[in-house]
Structure 1
């Protein structure tokens, strides 16, 4: 399979999947952990402080997302990285929450608006360019037969992805005055817990009810084209959740489309700290919606929006060109399109304006 990054496939119980993943990506996980330890140190967190934080996040994850915690404990065992550091790795957003670099533009389109008649999610993943070598695709099939495919960083469990029930998620970082509160599960643990769900309502319940310490935007969707009684011909659904500590905002599709960047649009009860400093986020979401237009939306149209340079270099297609400091550097590392009806991920190495092609991974036959 011709892909722009490694694909790791594991099967078994959560613990068995975690151990196998840790062993398969052992070198990448060790390197990624060392990389983040350096980044944590630059913000004043030495290794003992990182491990103390990781221990607290492990306790919260075991309480509120036990199957995900079993996965992460297995990753630590398989990779040989201390378990507290694995949890700190998965809590990199919480531990770096003072870093206000913006990342990602997400798009959701209902089947009533796509040229294919399929429910589609898409996004650019914008982050520090140093993370590119530590990125992979993770495919898991658990003991119940549930299959998940997700883009992620080595040692972590989720980012943009979907499962064989046709449920998918894209993600954007948000920042609020509530971030940093103790007791929540890591941002990326919450993402994985959502992807473990088979039903959209259950995914929403997990996203809303799980305690968190950082703000996060989840663009969720599900195709009802298979696996549900009498679901043939039933339209899919998309919904956006702005999830802050102790509060949730909701956006529903307008004319079959949802777009989102890195500022709050539906949750006036929290102070959006991004508004204190300004950001390209304030136009990226609206621009993405406008560029999609009013005609039936083909997948190439979505790819074109992900490659848009309006506001370059701080555009939807983000380029590493104008950072004030090393920590502020950001680039669209990968572009992802999720066709939830086909259970297909199309992924391009970024910046997407330079991508010659999108590479496809389908869940069908992945574990044949």
Structure 2
């Protein structure tokens, strides 16, 4: 392979993979460096699809290949080369079809189910922060990976928290564009638009600003529903609830915007049904309360104060810092798997793997 690679363990719970080169090279490095984690995620999403969509992995793969692969090939053929590289790098009989299936897991499962994430964008003077918790079933922590990617013939590098085998998730790029993501459950689906995780990668790889990111979303559209908190190093930021039937803008108030796992932006048509859990409303209300309290008390936004908010356990177990409910089974065993915080004016960040309310090592990011 022409692409250079490096794997580190800055945190004992997650691998950091450095990839460069052509799309295929990047994919092969990704797949070969975290092969066990890719296979683990195939196994876990096979279980997850059975629980949420009531289909087998084979059925999910047929759906991914017939409904979504043609669109991805048409809209962004290079990312298909990268997915092929992931499959061949991971080995063990995995094919491009398996990796495409992982990358459309939102379109397959999250029209029937939503996880629990709490996000925040906050402008603090000359600093622009994005932060969120990612909540999911405990077993998926074993499949997490930190990807640092420098595509060939590009002056933009990107760094993001992902799941092994998935090409895009939560992070930032060296141009100063960052994003957080929250799952939104609606039955709306348009296979002619770009799948959520492919879109997240597209934004990180090509958007140099908030305005660029919005233009990309409008150009390609979303195949299913997702919430993005988008910001750039200039301090421009907002929340966009994206869906196949339209995008709904939530502008910051008092210097911040918070979101969880339900639609609340203006303009959503009645035909776009929302199915949030009750804790989605309480988590976003609690994040607003904590942020407003800090503002009244003159507490600046910093990585430390953001982590304190993301560590809040009011309403436990379904809190901002989530723990598994007693007696919960299957996909109801949600827990906070990781926290990512970014400061975009300096292109720096911090990640913890696990619940931020616990004493955990911090992975520092910078370009």
Tell me the TM-score normalized by structure 2.
0.88
Q: SS where residue 309 of structure 1 aligns?
A: coil
Of 161-170 and 264-273, deviating more is 264-273
Structure 1 distance, partners of 2:219, 2:329, is 37
Please provide the CA RMSD for this pair: 1.8
Extract unaligned runs of 5+ from structure 2: 1-8
Tell me if the contact between 1:124 and 1:332 (Cα under 8 Å) persists in the aligned partners: yes
Structure 2 distance, partners of 1:159, 1:103, is 15
Change (3 A) 1:356 1:47: closer
Structure 2 distance, partners of 1:158, 1:103, is 18
Deviation at 1:98, TM superposition (A): 4.6
Deviation at 1:322, TM superposition (A): 4.0
Extract unaligned runs of 5+ from structure 1: 225-235, 364-368
After superposition, where does 1:337-352 map in structure 2 within 5 Å?
Answer: 337-352=341-356
Structure 2 residue aligned with 1:220 = 230
Q: SS where residue 280 of structure 1 aligns?
A: helix
Structure 2 residue aligned with 1:233 = none
Of 257-266 and 337-346, deviating more is 337-346
Deviation at 1:53, TM superposition (A): 1.7
Of 35-44 and 304-313, deviating more is 35-44
Structure 2 residue aligned with 1:158 = 168
Deviation sequence 1:128-156 (CA, Å, 0-9, x none): 11101010100100112321000000101
Structure 2 distance, partners of 1:88, 1:241, is 25
- Please, which of 99, 108, 127 is the counterpart of residue 95 of structure 1? 108
Structure 2 residue aligned with 1:58 = 69
Q: Does 1:70 align with 2:70?
A: no
Deviation at 1:84, TM superposition (A): 0.9
Structure 2 distance, partners of 1:86, 1:20, is 14
Tell me if the contact between 1:172 and 1:260 (Cα under 8 Å) persists in the aligned partners: yes
Q: Does 1:282 align with 2:281?
A: yes
Deviation at 1:357, TM superposition (A): 4.2
Deviation at 1:171, TM superposition (A): 0.4
Structure 2 distance, partners of 1:259, 1:69, is 33
Of 47-56 and 255-264, deviating more is 47-56
Structure 2 residue aligned with 1:28 = 37
Q: SS where residue 194 of structure 2 aligns?
A: coil
Structure 2 residue aligned with 1:263 = 262
Deviation at 1:323, TM superposition (A): 6.3
Structure 2 residue aligned with 1:238 = 237
Deviation sequence 1:230-256 (CA, Å, 0-9, x none): xxxxxx211111001120000111111
Change (3 A) 1:48 1:100: closer
Structure 2 distance, partners of 1:7, 1:243, is 30
Q: Does 1:319 align with 2:323?
A: yes
Q: Does 1:211 align with 2:224?
A: no
Structure 2 distance, partners of 1:6, 1:214, is 29
Tell me if the contact between 1:161 and 1:170 (Cα under 8 Å) persists in the aligned partners: yes
Change (3 A) 1:63 1:361: same
Tell me the TM-score normalized by structure 1.
0.88
Deviation at 1:218, TM superposition (A): 0.4
Tell me if the contact between 2:114 and 2:185 (Cα under 8 Å) persists in the aligned partners: no
Structure 2 distance, partners of 1:310, 1:316, is 8
Deviation at 1:66, TM superposition (A): 3.1
Deviation at 1:354, TM superposition (A): 0.7
Structure 2 distance, partners of 1:321, 1:134, is 22
Structure 2 residue aligned with 1:2 = 10
Change (3 A) 1:59 1:261: same
Structure 1 distance, partners of 2:77, 2:203, is 13
Structure 2 residue aligned with 1:227 = none
Structure 2 distance, partners of 1:26, 1:194, is 26
- Please, which of 18, 25, 30 is the counterpart of residue 16 of structure 1? 25
Number of equivalent positions: 345
Deviation sequence 1:146-174 (CA, Å, 0-9, x none): 21000000101222100000100000001
Structure 1 distance, partners of 2:360, 2:57, is 41
Structure 2 residue aligned with 1:104 = 117
Q: Does 1:46 align with 2:45?
A: no
Structure 1 distance, partners of 2:359, 2:182, is 22
Structure 1 residue aligned with 2:247 = 248
Q: SS where residue 342 of structure 2 aligns?
A: strand
